Structure 1
Amino acid sequence: MVLKKISPRLLIVLLCVVIVAAIGLIYQFTRVTEGLEIRLMLIHGRNPQKVTIELRSTGNKPAQIYKIIGMPWGINYTFSEDIIVPPGTSVRITFPVLGGRVLLETLSGEEASGGGIAIMEGGQQLFNQTLVDMGILPELGVMPATGYAVPIILTRDGNAFRHTLQMTSEEYVPG
């Protein structure tokens, strides 16, 4: 028999490893977590341009979004009311680039809430640079059609979620 050849000490060690792994898995699956799956982050349209973010809460507790940092030209946004996205809910968040009223649409799941006003902070780089400083040659005379950045969405639990932001002059039409 194979079992007679296995040392009792080895069986005890294997049993302990299985028990510790089971406890770890139970802890991971039952702990309260906050998560966001960011599907789209876009600055789009003609003036006044808009910021549109589509995301889904993947945790088992509501995500409380209060700030976005690292936008192009040193711009950050703070929301006057936390955007609360229940677990499993998909939302679309839209607001003007220079700040203003937040339009919060629930795409699926429980109703999301909050937003209020998006307050723009910073932007000194945007307003204190010339086109040449930004690397745009004067003879081109136009801004590039598409640009990218990697802003960070901050939540009240201290989590930071990053996603590529696309800047385009085209209007975004939700599909």
Structure 2
Amino acid sequence: MPDELCIPVYHVDKNDNNQAFVRGAMLTPSDEDGDWAGNGVYFWDNIGNAHYWTKSRRYKNITISKAMMRTYEKFILDLTEPESASNFLRLAKIVQEQIKRNIDLTSKAEKGAVINFVCTFLQKMQKNSLNIKKIPQPFKVVKVVGYYPSAPEHVFFAVSDDKNLGPHVTLKTKVIYAVRDQTILEQRQIIKEV
């Protein structure tokens, strides 16, 4: 049996929403259908990125909550590496063939819409107890890396003008989890009032 993953995640929201979340309520998921990770409640992979988000949004009366995300690798759609992204694109094509509906799967596609399309199909398959070869169980989490060009770069990682701007370390990318199944979020707590 595969090992269960236990990942700390951080969510920025209005204090009332986070307080209810800590008491066991479900947060209102995003219905994102654009270029991010689709539907779900968005969490950061570390407290520093959550702080970045609070500063970039300038909301009032917000807090940062922390939870432990407990799940198995097979339930995470990990779009942070090429092989997994290619596998997901193949899956989207299979779904497209199964329901005989064309969706944009090019680089111009709204990534969130494609993720939602595939996840909705997988949920219907599971609900109807249909087993189709090569179709996995629905994803509980979508993992992506966001690029924030205006995020401040730490002086330690700054690239000097005399260096070739090839692969390098940066703080401008941030790991984001879109949690579609909030029942996997445990040990909820408020860790920071902003």
Q: Is the shorter-chain TM-score for this pair beyond 0.5, marking a shared fold?
A: no
Structure with greater helix percent: 2
Larger Rg: 1
TM-score, normalising length: structure 2: 0.27
The structure with the largest strand share of the pair is 1
